[in-house]
Chains A and B, each alone.
Chain A
Amino acid sequence: MNEMVITREQREARLEGMGCKRKRVEDIRFTQGKGQYVDDIKLPGMLHGDFVRSQYAHARIKRIDASRALALPGVIAVITAEELKPLGLHWMPTLAGDVQAVLADGKVCFQNQEIAFVVAENRYVVDDALQLVEVEYEELPVLVDPFTAMDPDAPVLRPDLDGKTVGAHGPRKHHNHIFEWTIGDKAATDEAFNSAEVTIKELISYHRTHPSPLETCQCLASFDKVKGELTLYGTFQAPHVIRTVASLLSKIPEHKIHVIAPDIGGGFGNKVGAYSGYICAIVASIVTGLPVKWVEDRMENLSTTSFARDYHMTTEIAATKDGKVTGLRVHVLADHGAFDACADPSKWPAGFMNIVTGSYDFPVAHLAVDGVYTNKAPGGVAYRCSFRVTEAAYCIERAMDVLAQKLGMDPADLRMKNFIRREQFPYQSALGWEYDSGDYHLAMQKAMDAIGYRELRAEQKARQDAFRRGETREIMGIGVTFFTEIVGAGPSKNCDILGVAMFDSAEIRIHPTGSIIARMGSKSQGQGHETTWAQIIATELGIPADDIMIEEGNTDTAPYGLGTYGSRSTPVAGAAIAMAARKIKNKAQMIAAHLLEVSEYDLEWDIDGFRVKGNPERSKTMKEIAWAAYNAPPPGLEPGLEAVNYYDPPNMTYPFGAYFCVMDIDVDTGVARIRRFYALDDCGTRINPMIIEGQVHGGLTEAFAIAMGQEIKYDEMGNVQGASFMDFFLPTAVETPHWETDHTVTPSPHHPIGAKGVGESPNVGGVPCFSNAVNDAFGFLGSTHIQMPHDAWRVWEAAKRLGLHQ
């Protein structure tokens, strides 16, 4: 038989397992317009709902009159807080331990806050009716600047918290204070600063922005009154969590709630939380007995569901004269908006901000974070990063450059001097993490060689001289960044969401004919899980990836999982897949031994089956074993071949990377032209290099947008500025630079396949790299730190401040 003569390489290749650039399974339907996203789903009798929203950032609501709206033909209901009160649903708990008004309860605290939910026969009538709901306001003083939030006479934003001197994360110092979170050895850190030869101090702000996936947040709720069952389709990055939250809030038993996350048009952290739209659609469906769809428009998306960042980080480094860091001290003023709706693990009000020591061997460090309320939208999601990791990376990477400048040292050399060394792993950081693995010097050197770093510095020097001589109006910046991420939340000992430990899960079933269906608690929003999860199983079990179907997002069939965000899917769900596969493999070995009439210990795994040690002619493929599992299992062994694994990771994973950016800035226009961008990523074992590169390209493009202009701004009245694609910077193919990618591989020692996760590294490393390049360009003119975002206007202003415009 031909089958018998194929080579081992061919057997291996046809599996399309880990490490190969397998083409994506998802693309077949997406390229033919056959994806199924929430708004594509239509149910008989379906109604539509949308919100009347506040015009003001801070106001008392004196009256809501929906009578004209209700009189409009086609309008079915108008729901306000008054209607939700009897159900106890006018407020909802947030993931951060605060509460948030589902519909404004007598008062609005940010512009575009939800006031009433209008339900009508179609979306056009909804829009008509929204105009007819009359709301009478009494304006209140507005608080926009977080630096004045704790002034003695600052307006009271949250009277519902009146008298609450202790919040979910400890004492509150002021009526607009949410929490103070501190970590590290303060006394030792202060001592390091007292005895330091050199110190720097800089206020490094990371502005407010928004994940803005191309598909907005949306859901379709359908309550079956007869069965008492709720089916909820939605753009959910964490469908099981949504089911639990929906059950706790609605009191519908969890087994009677069917949450389905179909195809999702990008998430980037926007689709983790629970929003008023979900609650109102559910309530409206219960009330009307009909399915109700809620689809955000873009303005609603940008101005209400989940901003990101808004961290103001006062950063100090202590060092020796020759550039050895001796201490790090950071204070963060965190603007959380009107409600603390951060999507962080419960015990981490500032996420994993304590990764702020970065890639460097700081002997001591101290971090304090104060969260405050302002009249802005709630949120604080991890926009393509693990919880607050991009803020931390920006903070330390910018500060290292400020230190280099003060010392007169090259920023790459300063980093090299202070890296955690390879032999120090597993490394205990001063702020409490255990870094799993890394070879930072190797990665940095490889990157510097690849980009020709020393030559670039020489060129920059020559160009600076030319600029000084007035021969050019362009300045050249070289951005250097070396980031360490912390992803894969997380171990149950320190990570939970609303009390549910942050494990993840996989269930694999092998059918009698040797094909597979596997289901996970994760949920792809474009990451390509249907492709890559099958690759892990293919390698583990020797079944071709094309014979493996991956299903996610249906909470009735998938095992409970905490969802996909914070680069947790590969570290956690990916591990669960490997572990479930290994359970199957153990049983398969018993079956093979039975079939071959040898002891299990006489068998060894060989690509796609077991063979007898020393007698490779005698073997059973996984397909043969699968048939036997259903046809003639060994006596005493259960038939069937399937397994479930719930994986509680022993530690986080710590991907890292070295990024370099070269840009030229015209000081008269403020326009920055990206000449090169080189990204070296180490995400441990690489499952599908094609998908990794795609993730890096996408994350870098988001980083480029954030660093170079993307911002959610407010004016002094609390009016949100730029909540449309007209103003909110999303780069097109024209502005987007060309990306060069590279890698090193340092597997995670505690992960079953050594993978660390990559989706968010480029955003985490990219933002400081662009910002460092801008700052590096201006450094020789006496500037130390220019705040992001670096759009042409602000860059031009920076040049003006430096007296470059005569």
Chain B
Amino acid sequence: MDMSEIDTIPVTVTVNGRKVQRFVEPRTLLIHFLREELNLTGAHIGCETSHCGACTVEIDGQSVKSCTMFAVQADGSAVTTVEGLANPDGTLHALQEGFRQMHGLQCGYCTPGMLMRAKVLLSENPDPTEAEIRHGIAGNLCRCTGYQNIVKAIQYAAAKLNGREFQEAAE
């Protein structure tokens, strides 16, 4: 198809609390919109087939694999990416802290997606069991960590958000 024949469509999205408007081709994937139009490169691409979860962002309170959604489908919604995860005062979110404290990441490529998935998981289930965490992040692949410390990182964050101290040390 000839590029010049393709009309662009306006998209208005609130990204990390900031309203942005751009004209995009209808086929533009949300992940490319975020990464290339808005320079938010935190969300990554690992498969483009909705298997790996590296591209996970939050849209209107739900986890979405942004490689499997068109930017135009996000029109009018609120998108949060890892760049918008830290607390408004600039301190790190409990999950960001937990991932570091519990050694929940190695190469860091899956991490933004894991963090954003975990955020929604904890909003739906503030005090999950280990099994619930494992099921809750089953849409996000990690090739480095073997997940055990990711589970702990999420438990750490859950404890902190619930005002408890997390005792378990990173293995």
| B-binding residues in A (CB < 8 A) | 21, 23-24, 26-37, 39-40, 42, 72-74, 123-125, 128, 212-216, 263-266, 268, 295, 297-298, 525-528, 690-691, 693-695, 697-702, 724-726, 730, 732-734, 736, 738-739, 741
- 23 A-B pairs with CB atoms under 8 Å apart are A24-B103, A29-B108, A30-B108, A31-B92, A31-B95, A32-B96, A73-B3, A214-B109, A216-B46, A265-B46, A525-B107, A528-B106, A693-B170, A694-B103, A694-B145, A697-B146, A697-B147, A698-B143, A732-B140, A733-B135, A733-B140, A733-B147, A734-B135
* A31-B115, A693-B171 known; A734 vs B146 contact (CB < 8 Å): no
Q: Place the interface of chain B in its size category.
A: 35 or more
User: A28–B100 Cα gap in the complex (Å)?
Assistant: 8
Judging by beta carbons under 8 Å apart, are B105 and A27 in contact?
yes
Q: Does B13 contact A (CB under 8 A)?
A: no
Judging by beta carbons under 8 Å apart, are A698 and B146 in contact?
yes
User: A263–B25 Cα gap in the complex (Å)?
Assistant: 30
User: A690–B169 Cα gap in the complex (Å)?
Assistant: 9
* A21-B170, A734-B134 known; A527 vs B141 contact (CB < 8 Å): no
User: A713–B46 Cα gap in the complex (Å)?
Assistant: 21
Judging by beta carbons under 8 Å apart, are B100 and A214 in contact?
no
Judging by beta carbons under 8 Å apart, are A124 and B111 in contact?
no
Judging by beta carbons under 8 Å apart, are A702 and B100 in contact?
no
Interface residues of B in 62-115 (CB under 8 A from A): 81-83, 85-86, 92, 95-96, 99-101, 103, 105-112, 115
Set of chain A residues within 8 Å of B30, measured between Cβ atoms: none
Judging by beta carbons under 8 Å apart, are A32 and B83 in contact?
yes
Chain B proximity of A539: nearest CB distance (Å) = 20
Chain B proximity of A498: nearest CB distance (Å) = 27
User: A526–B85 Cα gap in the complex (Å)?
Assistant: 22
User: A738–B171 Cα gap in the complex (Å)?
Assistant: 12
Set of chain B residues within 8 Å of A23, measured between Cβ atoms: 100-101, 103
Judging by beta carbons under 8 Å apart, are B46 and A215 in contact?
yes
Set of chain A residues within 8 Å of B14, measured between Cβ atoms: none
Judging by beta carbons under 8 Å apart, are B107 and A214 in contact?
yes
* A40-B41, A526-B144 known; A698 vs B170 contact (CB < 8 Å): no
From B85, B86, B148, contact of A739 by CB (8 A): B148
Set of chain B residues within 8 Å of A691, measured between Cβ atoms: 103
Q: Does B160 contact A (CB under 8 A)?
A: no
Bitwise interface map of B from 44 to 69 toward A, beta carbon under 8 Å scored 1, else 0: 11111101101000000000000000
Apart from A31-B95, A263-B107, A265-B107, list 16 A-B contacts with CB within 8 A.
A23-B101, A28-B100, A30-B105, A35-B109, A40-B35, A213-B107, A214-B110, A214-B144, A215-B46, A265-B108, A266-B144, A690-B103, A701-B145, A701-B146, A739-B146, A739-B171
Chain A proximity of B94: nearest CB distance (Å) = 11
Scoring A27, A37, A42, A701 by chain B CB atoms within 10 A of each residue's CB, the highest score goes to A27
Q: Does B168 contact A (CB under 8 A)?
A: no
* A265-B108, A266-B109, A733-B137 known; A298 vs B100 contact (CB < 8 Å): no
Scoring A213, A263, A526 by chain B CB atoms within 10 A of each residue's CB, the highest score goes to A526
Set of chain B residues within 8 Å of A42, measured between Cβ atoms: 36, 39
Chain A proximity of B112: nearest CB distance (Å) = 5
User: A123–B54 Cα gap in the complex (Å)?
Assistant: 19
From B43, B48, B82, B106, contact of A32 by CB (8 A): B82
Judging by beta carbons under 8 Å apart, are B48 and A31 in contact?
no
Judging by beta carbons under 8 Å apart, are A34 and B42 in contact?
yes
* A33-B40, A697-B148 known; A298 vs B49 contact (CB < 8 Å): yes
Set of chain A residues within 8 Å of B103, measured between Cβ atoms: 23-24, 690-691, 693-694
Q: Does B162 contact A (CB under 8 A)?
A: no
Set of chain A residues within 8 Å of B145, measured between Cβ atoms: 694, 697-698, 701
Judging by beta carbons under 8 Å apart, are B44 and A37 in contact?
yes
Judging by beta carbons under 8 Å apart, are A31 and B143 in contact?
no
Judging by beta carbons under 8 Å apart, are A726 and B51 in contact?
yes
* A23-B100, A214-B141, A266-B144 known; A298 vs B108 contact (CB < 8 Å): no
Chain B proximity of A213: nearest CB distance (Å) = 6
User: A216–B1 Cα gap in the complex (Å)?
Assistant: 28
Q: Does B7 contact A (CB under 8 A)?
A: no
User: A36–B140 Cα gap in the complex (Å)?
Assistant: 20
Set of chain A residues within 8 Å of B40, measured between Cβ atoms: 33
User: A40–B81 Cα gap in the complex (Å)?
Assistant: 15
Scoring A24, A33, A266, A690 by chain B CB atoms within 10 A of each residue's CB, the highest score goes to A33
Judging by beta carbons under 8 Å apart, are B142 and A214 in contact?
yes
User: A263–B135 Cα gap in the complex (Å)?
Assistant: 29
Q: Does B22 contact A (CB under 8 A)?
A: no
Set of chain B residues within 8 Å of A39, measured between Cβ atoms: 35, 41, 44-45
Set of chain B residues within 8 Å of A72, measured between Cβ atoms: 2-3
User: A168–B150 Cα gap in the complex (Å)?
Assistant: 46
Q: Does B167 contact A (CB under 8 A)?
A: no
Set of chain A residues within 8 Å of B45, measured between Cβ atoms: 39, 295
Q: In the complex, which residue of chain A has the Cβ closest to the Cβ of B139?
A: A732
Judging by beta carbons under 8 Å apart, are A33 and B83 in contact?
yes
User: A72–B4 Cα gap in the complex (Å)?
Assistant: 10
Set of chain A residues within 8 Å of B150, measured between Cβ atoms: 733
Which 9 interchain pairs have the tightest Cβ spacing? A33-B42, A526-B107, A265-B109, A30-B108, A697-B146, A725-B51, A701-B146, A526-B106, A33-B82
Q: Does B138 contact A (CB under 8 A)?
A: yes
Chain A proximity of B170: nearest CB distance (Å) = 5
Judging by beta carbons under 8 Å apart, are A701 and B52 in contact?
no
Set of chain B residues within 8 Å of A527, measured between Cβ atoms: 106
Judging by beta carbons under 8 Å apart, are B100 and A27 in contact?
yes
Judging by beta carbons under 8 Å apart, are B3 and A74 in contact?
yes
* A215-B107, A733-B134 known; A24 vs B47 contact (CB < 8 Å): no
User: A266–B108 Cα gap in the complex (Å)?
Assistant: 8
Judging by beta carbons under 8 Å apart, are A35 and B106 in contact?
no
Set of chain B residues within 8 Å of A694, measured between Cβ atoms: 103, 106, 144-146, 149, 171
Chain A proximity of B121: nearest CB distance (Å) = 11
Q: Does B27 contact A (CB under 8 A)?
A: yes
User: A739–B27 Cα gap in the complex (Å)?
Assistant: 43
User: A28–B92 Cα gap in the complex (Å)?
Assistant: 9
Q: In the complex, which residue of chain A has the Cβ closest to the Cβ of B83?
A: A33
Interface residues of B in 110-160 (CB under 8 A from A): 110-112, 115, 133-135, 137-151
Set of chain B residues within 8 Å of A528, measured between Cβ atoms: 106
Judging by beta carbons under 8 Å apart, are A698 and B3 in contact?
no
From B1, B107, B115, B149, contact of A697 by CB (8 A): B149
User: A700–B143 Cα gap in the complex (Å)?
Assistant: 11
Judging by beta carbons under 8 Å apart, are B143 and A702 in contact?
yes
* A266-B107, A528-B106, A734-B134 known; A214 vs B99 contact (CB < 8 Å): no
* A32-B96, A33-B40, A739-B146 known; A725 vs B141 contact (CB < 8 Å): yes
User: A29–B109 Cα gap in the complex (Å)?
Assistant: 11
Chain A proximity of B69: nearest CB distance (Å) = 16
Set of chain A residues within 8 Å of B149, measured between Cβ atoms: 694, 697
